[in-house]
Amino acid sequence: MAISRGCLPLVAVLVALLCPGEAAVRELKVGYYAETCPEAEDVVREAMARARAREARSVASVMRLQFHDCFVNGCDGSVLMDATPTMPGEKDALSNINSLRSFEVVDEIKEALEERCPGVVSCADIVVMAARDAVVLTGGPNWEVRLGREDSLTASQEDSDSIMPSPRANASALIRLFAGLNLSVTDLVALSGSHSIGEARCFSIVFRLYNQSGSGRPDPNMDAAYRRALDALCPRGGDEEVTGGMDATPRAFDNRYFRDLVALRGFLNSDQTLFSDNARTRRVVKRFSEDQDAFFRAFVEGMVKMGELQNPRKGEIRRNCRVANGSPSPVTSATTKPVVAYRVVHF
């Protein structure tokens, strides 16, 4: 399955056949920096722990960067790039603007690594390591990450707009998206479990509360008590930048997310649809709601598979994750916003 521009496919394993003239995908391996930057993984985890101590939400925000990076032309750090006068950045894509955050955590990690091992550790690998550490630091499983990616030279707002799903997406659309990335239904449901930690904006759910599918009514697949709590959090005409936890334990990586879906207490439409609208995804949601270890195993497998998506074009090791080496200074991104208040959803 190819994306909309040029010859760059989504499934890296097909690159050599579909894109003659492109560089071969890189072989990733555990311990890639063992000789060139042996402290790399420790540096990342220590920085993530500091970020979590400053703001608990930040580690979930960093983990989300891996999804928005890898789904668009592979795991190449393109989502980290600021716009330039000649390149609209992915940060300003529809699914990312005013939503993706905590880029400063990646900046902090990169600065620390450049001090120890200049020009060695890619920004793309930083995102993958940091995503793993976000899970570990919030009580989830640990796993070895395969490293050795290069950073892209460009970003594509157009490709991000054409690929990344909306919070309104239904299960069938999500299944098709993941299948195009060689990810299974089980991968889809397990990776959606990343919403076990973190928050989302009222902007993403007001249609569920007041005008689901243009009906002028709330989503019927919502527990009544939970809907009342969300009505209070996100009143009609209220501040849509207010955020709420995506499950009842947004600081702990666990299977509560799936138990909430079974109880019709999913925050986003793209979450609740996995239980309410599709028999294939419903079976997996039910299994993970009952077996946290099964969820953890599937989540790790899905994260490793997602991390294998690569950009076949020749890249570099960026010195600054926001700009390609030797590029003009970036313009101010529209994603820079003041931090909004977090409110707990009680039900």
Q: What are 328's two structure tokens?
A: 């003009």
Strand (E) or helix (H) holding 200: strand 199-201
Dist. CA 232–CA 225, nearest whole Å = 11
> Residue 186 annotated as binding?
no
Dist. CA 190–CA 186, nearest whole Å = 6
> Residue 247 annotated as binding?
yes
Q: How many CB atoms lie within 10 A of CB 5?
A: 11
DSSP 90: G
Dist. CA 48–CA 105, nearest whole Å = 7
> Residue 290 annotated as binding?
no
> Residue 344 annotated as binding?
no
Q: Compute and round to an integer the Cα radius of gyration of the chain.
A: 19
Cα angle at 220 between 219 and 223, to 5 degrees? Answer: 100
> Residue 72 annotated as binding?
yes
Strands (E), 183-300: 199-201, 243-245
> Residue 90 annotated as binding?
yes
Residues 308, 312, 317, 321: is their CA dihedral positive or negative? negative
The b-or-e profile of 94-105 (16+ CB within 10 A means b, else e) is ebbbbbbbbbeb
> Residue 69 annotated as binding?
yes
Just list the catalytic residues: 68
Dist. CA 138–CA 56, nearest whole Å = 9
> Residue 277 annotated as binding?
no
Q: Which residue has the tokens 């909430």?
A: 260
> Residue 55 annotated as binding?
no
β-partners of residue 61 are: none
Q: What are 282's two structure tokens?
A: 């419903």
Dist. CA 172–CA 280, nearest whole Å = 10
> Residue 76 annotated as binding?
yes
What is the pairing mode between strands 146-147 and 199-201? unpaired
Sequence ranges of the binding site for Ca(2+): 69, 72, 74, 76, 78, 90, 247, 249, 254
As annotated, the binding site for heme b includes: 195
Residues contributing to the annotated binding site for substrate = 165
Binding-site residue positions: 69, 72, 74, 76, 78, 90, 165, 195, 247, 249, 254
